[in-house]
Amino acid sequence: MFRRFAKFLTDVGVNGPEVVTRLHPSDLTALLELAWDRRSNNTAVELGLPARRSALNGFGTTWFGNAAFSSNPPDPNVATIATRLRTNFGGPSFIGRASEQPGGLWEHLMYGYMVENTRVMPIMRRVLREFAHGERLGVPSSPESQQWLRTTEQLFFRDPPPFFIGALNSYVRPDLEATRRTAYQRMFAMDLNHGTEDNKPYPYIKAEAANGEFVSTFEELLREVWIGIENVNNQSGAKPTDDAKIADLAEKLHDMLISRRQGGNLSPEEFMAVSTLSWFHLTLDTGTLTIIKDLRAEAASPEERLFKIAQRVGLPAHGLAKNYFDIADSISRMLILIETGLFNDASAAPALYTPAPGGGPQADMQNIVRHWSMITGREMKARKVTPG
C-alpha cells in the first residue's frame, strides 16, 4: 500500500518514496484507514471475492472518522494521496470481468508472504534496536532518517492505536508476526522460511482449516501453463496444451482460496500484512533514502541493499531475496485474478499463456514459473513425474 501511495505522488511529479517516508505516522495511519474505507465494495458479487473483500464498517462511517475524512489535510502531499484514494485507487492493472472492476484493491496476501520471506522484518527490527540502544551503527545523520526510524517503530513494532484497521493485536492475538504467520498458514498451508532470530521455530497458532493442497495445485497449474507457453505458436502437429485442465486447476485454486475468505474472513489481516511489508519493500526499493545512506547500504537493487543492512546488523537475509522480491507483484496479481473466477472456463485459459500487449497474465505467469522454480528448487518447466 505504501508503494502505491508513493506512486500517487510520483505520478504528479513529486519524489513519492522520499515524501511518503517523511510523513507523520498519524497521517500514514489515516491514509491506511482511508484506503480501507475506499476498498471495492461491489455488493453484486459474493463477499470475500476481490471486488468485495469485507463488509466491515470503516472509520469514515463513524462520527469522528467522518469529521476527519471530510476535512482538508494541511499537508498537500497527504491531500494528493487522499484524493486518489477517494476517487479510485485501482487494483491490478487488469482485473477481469467488467462487473468486478474494483473501486480499490490492495495486494494479495501472497505478496506479504513473499516479501517477508526475505527476512526483512527481523533485520529491520535489529536496525531499530541498534539505533535505539547505542551507536554501533553510527548516528542517524538527518531528520529524514530520524523520521524513518520513528515511523517504522511506531507503525510496525508496537501496539497499533485501537479502533483502527491495523489494531489486530489484543489479549487474544498478542503477536502481530504470529498473526501474519497464521494467515499464511490458513491461506497457503505454508510457513515462512525462517523462525526466530536465534533460529528456533516461531510460535504461532496453526489452524485446522487450511488450504493443504494449495502448493501442489498451484504447481500443477504452473506446469500446465508452461506447456501452453512453449506450444503457443505451434501451427501443426499435436498440441499438448490442455485448456480444460488449466481451467479445472484454476477453479480448484479459486474454490480453496475463497473458502478461506467466507464472510470477508482474513481481509483485515491481509490488508495489514501487505501494507506492512510494502513499507519495507518501498524503503529497499529507493536507494536515495537517507536511512539507506546512513546504513551504508547503497547498492543497485533492493536485495543488495538488504544484504548490506543484514551484514551490518549480523542477521543474514535469505539468499534468494531477489527471487522473492521479483515474484511478489506478479503472483499477487495472478492470485487476485484467479479469485475472481476469470479462468474457471476453458475459453479463458489461453490468456494465461498467450503473449499480450503490455504484458498481461502471460508475462506474469512466465515470471512466476521462473522465480517459483528457483525458490522451491522444483522445476516448473518440466512435466510432473508420476511414480510407476
Q: What is the pLDDT of residues 314-368, one digit of tens each?
A: 999 999 999 999 999 999 999 999 999 999 999 999 999 999 988 889 999 999 9
d(CA 121, CA 251): 34
| 32 lies in the same domain as 180 | yes
Pair 96, 115 in one domain: yes
Mean pLDDT to the nearest integer, 17-27:
94
Q: Do residues 61 and 105 share a domain?
A: yes
Q: Does residue 52 lie in a domain region?
A: yes
Residue given cell 496444451 in the structure block:
241
Please check whether residue 23 is in contact with residue 77, taking contact to mean a CB–CB distance below 8 angstroms: yes
Is 386 within a domain? no
Q: What is the pLDDT of residue 385?
A: 61
DSSP letter at 105 equals: -
Domain co-membership, 332 together with 349:
yes
**pLDDT score at 72:** 83
Q: Is the pLDDT of residue 372 over 50?
A: yes
Percentage with pLDDT > 90 across the chain: 73
User: Considering the domain boundaries, does residue 388 fall inside one?
Assistant: no
Q: What local confidence, expressed as pLDDT, does residue 100 receive?
A: 45
DSSP 160: P
Residue 156 located in a structural domain:
yes
- Based on the fold, state whether residues 46 and 73 are members of the same structural domain: yes
* Residue 11 structural domain: 2-209+263-319
Note the pLDDT tens digit of each residue in 259-305: 999 999 999 999 999 999 999 999 999 988 999 999 999 999 999 99
Q: What is the pLDDT of residue 97?
A: 46
Please provide the average confidence, as pLDDT, over all residues in the chain.
91
Number of independent structural domains in the chain: 2
pLDDT at position 387, please? 54
Q: How far apart are CA 238 and CA 182, in angstroms?
A: 45
pLDDT in tens, 158-182: 988 888 888 888 899 989 999 999 9
46 lies in the same domain as 111: yes
User: Does residue 140 share a domain with residue 54?
Assistant: yes
Residues 114 and 244 in one domain: no
Domain assignment present for residue 57? The answer is yes
Task: Check residue 281 and give its pLDDT.
Answer: 97
Q: Is the domain of 235 the same as that of 300?
A: no
Residue 71, sorted as left (phi over 0), alpha (psi -120 to 50) or beta, turns out to be: beta
Q: Check whether residue 270 and residue 365 sit in a common domain.
A: no
Beta bridge partners of 104: 90
Is residue 132 in some structural domain?
yes
Residues 276 and 351 in one domain: no
Question: What percentage of the chain has pLDDT greater than the value 70?
Answer: 95
Alpha-carbon distances of 383 from 83, 220, 314, 352, 365, rounded to whole Å: 49, 9, 41, 18, 16
Position 63 scores a pLDDT of 84
Q: Look-up: residue for cell 490488508?
A: 271
Q: Residue 99: what pLDDT?
A: 44
- Residue 193 contacts residue 318 (beta carbons within 8 Å): yes
